[in-house]
Structure 1
Amino acid sequence: MMEGYFVQHPVFNDEEFRTRYRMSHNVFNRISSDLCHYDRYFVQKSDAAKKVGLLLEQKLTCSLRMLAYSAGADQCAEYCGMKKSISIEALQRFTRGIFNLLCNNLNVLAKSPLFDELTVGRAPQIQFQVNNRIHNLGYYLADGIYPRWATFVKTIPRPTRPKDLKFSQAQEGYKKDVKRCFDILQSRFSIVRGAARGWDREDLRYIMLTCIILHNIIVEDKDQRTTIRNWSPMKKRRTI
């Protein structure tokens, strides 16, 4: 593994590294440095018997392979030369480290108190008028899995009237935008697409948030490299 990617003259070039690690060497090195400063778990150490521990590159490679390929802990453990339990621990520490270090790059709300407020009768101050009627609560587009709350506007089943058809088309358009975001994540990180067996709810939360954060960082890095190469204004960021 080290000779393949992490020596002065590796077997595989930068493009192959980017394909297999889902990110450039530059992003990998930045993440490595930040994690080492944040959590000493990622720093190589020796035990009391002078036995040298695992390299940073082993732990990060294991974590990224589990995210990118949805590989099992035992598969990554064999490839990276570590125990299965350590590969699971590495992913847990990796995802929590990424979230705590880089959550400012996350363009979604990790946990919104919005609906907690609605349940007790408090909501943002919104006022608009439709058909000569004043409304003081906002409405949120949702589908059939959400509860029957007055503030949720769900899809109209079998619309026939022109205004119902127009509304349904608009709502479906927004739902497709959300689905595309998840399609992007699933294409880059197979763990998002795979089964969730074996992970508890807290692990799954950090895995999903880490995938979103990494996606945004990778896209920003790609746009910066494209800008430098083409000497053109930075393209619009396709972040989630």
Structure 2
Amino acid sequence: MFVLSNQKQTNKMNDFQNNMDFCHEILKEFLDDSELECFLLEDDIVVGSVPRSRTYIRRNFGDAHKHIMDDYFGDQPVYNEKMFLRRFRMPKEMFLRVVEALEGKNDYFRQKVDAVGKPGLTAIQKCFAAVRMLAYGIAADSLDEYTRMGDSTAMQSLKQFCQTIISVFGDYYLRLPNKNDIERLITENGKRGFPGMVGSIDCWHWDWQACPVAYKGQFSGKEGKATVVLEAIASYDTHIWHSFFGSPGSLNDINVLDRSPILNNIINEGVFNIKYELNGKMREQAYLLADGIYPDWSIFVKTISHPKTVKEKLFCKLQETCRKDIERAFGIIQKCWHILANPARLWNLNDLHSIVTACIVLHNMRIEYRAPFDQWCNEEPHVVETADVQPVHMPDVPHPFEVYCSKRLKLRDKNKCIALRQDLIDHCWQNYGHSQE
């Protein structure tokens, strides 16, 4: 009985398919291909006793692509370069460079054809949606009317965009400063009253609205909200040379520093080993500006909590002024990429890491595009294939454990920290003290 029932059902399905094929052949004689496709999509056919649970939306990807090209990338676009820069947070040349690099690196961004021969989304559409979500912090389904992308496709485009940006440009734009960069930074910071300074270090907390309940206690800080911490080093031009994201919000800056690889990178790669003169003395180690919570190490120069003399007050004023570089960098990133200004609405911490890191990469790329030509090692940034450029670091030679410990102790020397700050106090007074008289 069961075999006969299955045989009847199979016969019905075969008859149904034969009838459909016959109707399809008849319609071909009276309709062209486009009219036939529209007719088949409009016909709501239910096979079996259970109707389809998902509604198919006929999105014309071709028209959406043409609309975007006419608005921004045509010979006579509707919106000029200034409006493009405001909406995409980057020059048009940089955006097209990113699209080309992503399309060549990741197969996801290449246009494909589905089973019925219909062309899919283009790389321009996917990158357009990802950049708009980063720039405005909007929901994924808010782009459907313009890009003809569903919310799941837009979200997938965002994740693929961030991951591929890091894969293609991360080695170059997330590197520590090389020798040429160090010399440029020290020269510029010497004019500001701090010779030997590379940049300033600080932490920033990103609210995690969608934090899982199991992680809530670990990631909640003093304000009672779940946050994720970003540690970064920025220079005078707000270029971010180091980023470490993912620490729970319950940690303070010292705890994050203990987890951060910055100290090991400084020791292994020797990026801070450079000679400069300060207050008539030759020094061989660069330093960072930090706020009061950081430890008294020889690589950190902090302000004075309660300055007493005029010289100390002048030093505190200059130090706090230059230390605002990292605060400016955090502010610019949040104003530029509004997804970071809003609470994070993703569950996966790895996705948050990809978004933050991709925003930092794009931020550094924007700085390079607006920088003078001669500031970047006499290389025009948008001509160089940065995907193949290797960061110029000192040889990463593994140190014996005893040598590593001795170098680490030198970086954590409190006496050298105090001596360095005193020399900077005297230097600032010699160069800027006349303004206080």
Q: Same fold (TM over 0.5)?
A: yes
Give per-residue Cα distances to partners, 1:144-199, cap 9 Å, x unaligned.
555x5656655433333335424422331232121122233233222232222325
Q: Distance in 2 between matches of 1:221 and 1:99?
A: 18
Q: Please tell me whether residue 83 in structure 1 is matched to residue 150 in structure 2.
A: yes
For residues 5-154 of structure 1, the aligned pairs below 5 Å read 5-7=68-70, 8=74, 9-103=76-170, 104-106=172-174, 108-110=241-243, 113-115=261-263, 141-144=289-292, 146=294, 154=302
Give per-residue Cα distances to partners, 1:6-65, cap 9 Å, x unaligned.
144543334332332222332222111111110010011123343432221221111111
2:133–2:339 contact (8 Å) kept in structure 1: yes
Amino acid of the residue matched to residue 69 of structure 2? F
Give per-residue Cα distances to partners, 1:118-148, cap 9 Å, x unaligned.
9xxxxx8899xxxxxxx999875433555x5
How many residues are treated as equivalent by the alignment?
225
Q: Distance in 2 between matches of 1:188 and 1:93?
A: 20
1:138–1:168: structure 2 CA closer, same or farther, 3 Å change rule? same
1:50–1:81: structure 2 CA closer, same or farther, 3 Å change rule? same
Amino acid of the residue matched to residue 151 of structure 2? K
Q: CA RMSD in A?
A: 4.0
Aligned to 2:353: 205
Gap regions ≥5 residues in structure 1 = 119-123, 128-134, 224-232
Q: Please tell me whether residue 2 in structure 1 is matched to residue 150 in structure 2.
A: no
Structure number with larger C-alpha Rg = 2
Give per-residue Cα distances to partners, 1:202-235, cap 9 Å, x unaligned.
3333323322322333344345xxxxxxxxx747
3-state DSSP of counterpart to 2:162: helix
Q: Please tell me whether residue 196 in structure 1 is matched to residue 264 in structure 2.
A: no
Amino acid of the residue matched to residue 90 of structure 1? S
1:169–1:190: structure 2 CA closer, same or farther, 3 Å change rule? same
Q: Distance in 2 between matches of 1:56 and 1:162?
A: 60
1:202–1:125: structure 2 CA closer, same or farther, 3 Å change rule? same
1:71–1:141: structure 2 CA closer, same or farther, 3 Å change rule? same
Give per-residue Cα distances to partners, 1:72-98, cap 9 Å, x unaligned.
222234542222222222111111111
Q: Distance in 1 between matches of 2:115 and 2:242?
A: 44
State the 1:68 CA deviation: 1.1
1:67–1:189 contact (8 Å) kept in structure 2: yes
Q: Distance in 2 between matches of 1:20 and 1:140?
A: 34
Q: Distance in 1 between matches of 2:369 and 2:303?
A: 38
3-state DSSP of counterpart to 1:109: strand
1:5–1:17 contact (8 Å) kept in structure 2: no
More strand by share: 2
Identity across aligned pairs (percent)? 35
1:4–1:11 contact (8 Å) kept in structure 2: no
1:188–1:62: structure 2 CA closer, same or farther, 3 Å change rule? same
What is the TM-score normalised by the length of structure 2? 0.43
Q: Distance in 2 between matches of 1:73 and 1:145?
A: 39
Q: Distance in 1 between matches of 2:374 and 2:273?
A: 35
3-state DSSP of counterpart to 2:323: helix
Q: Distance in 1 between matches of 2:353 and 2:100?
A: 24
3-state DSSP of counterpart to 2:242: coil
Aligned to 1:171: 319
Gap regions ≥5 residues in structure 2 = 1-63, 175-238, 245-259, 267-271, 276-282, 377-437
2:65–2:122 contact (8 Å) kept in structure 1: no
Aligned to 2:304: 156
